[in-house]
Copies of this chain bind each other. A is one copy, B any other.
Amino acid sequence: MEERRASDQRRHFERHHFEEELQALKNRLLNMGALVEERVHDATHALIERRLDTAERIIGSDQDVNDLQIEIDERCLRLLALQQPMASDLRLITAAMKINADLERIGDQAVNIAEQAVRILAHPPLKPIIDLPRMAEISERMTRESLDAFVRKDAKLARAILARDDEVDQLKDQVFRVLLTYMMADPGTIERALGLILISRHLERIADHATNIAEDVIFVVEAKDVRHHHEERPGS
């Protein structure tokens, strides 16, 4: 009787510890998300506000993101090894590893945007930039909300994010059409217009990564793979 009580207590303690570790993992992913979101924001605004120093700072400093990525992966592996979690916890932890990789690649896109910004800022402004900051805003919000959905296991929010990917694609096409007109009319605009088109592609990729995260969330919550069942997406 005594023994069983001791073993129950130990199990209770282990479960409690496991929950704490899961919470710590979620917090680290939120940190990582906030960090890369800020970098995307800064890179886009370096372009719009013509701040070369900001763009150069982003290119030079991704050590924080990299350190955090490695730490999160190690946390996941430790949780898998020590706790031997089953079913839903297993889906959660393996999803965390995938989400971690997507966040790191969003960080890479911030660097790519900053690199293009440096090139573009060597020339005088081509035109008021309107669609790119909108694309950035939507992509940043998709990233933030996909992580909220993960932390709160909110499949409904995750599904709402999937629908917003189309908005980003439409803006991307619009950016392309407008800039093509500029290039055709005046070859002197080609380099800048090209740079802006490439930035729109980087922003599109950020939205794709946020979409991947949202799909992972739905899988975690519903044990249902929505990656390739696009007919289930609202609004598509």
Contact = CB atoms under 8 A, between A and B. Distances in A.
A74 to B, nearest CB: 8
How would you classify the secondary structure of chain A's contact residues: helix, strand, loop or mixed? Answer: helix
A183 B197 CA distance: 15
Contacts of A122: none
Interface in A158-214: 180, 183-184, 187, 190-191, 194, 197-198, 201, 212
A129 interface: no
Contacts of A194: 180, 194, 197
Interface size class of A (residues with CB under 8 A): 20 to 34
Number of copies of this protein chain within its complex: 2
Contacts of A225: 70, 73
Interface stretch (A27-35, A83-91, A138-146): A83-91
A184 B191 CA distance: 9
Nearest to A86: B81
A66 B190 contact: no
A152 interface: no
Interface string A79-119: 01100101100110010011001000000000000000000
A123 interface: no
Contact of A66 (B69, B80, B87, B227): B227
Given A197-B194, A227-B69, A77 B90 contact: yes
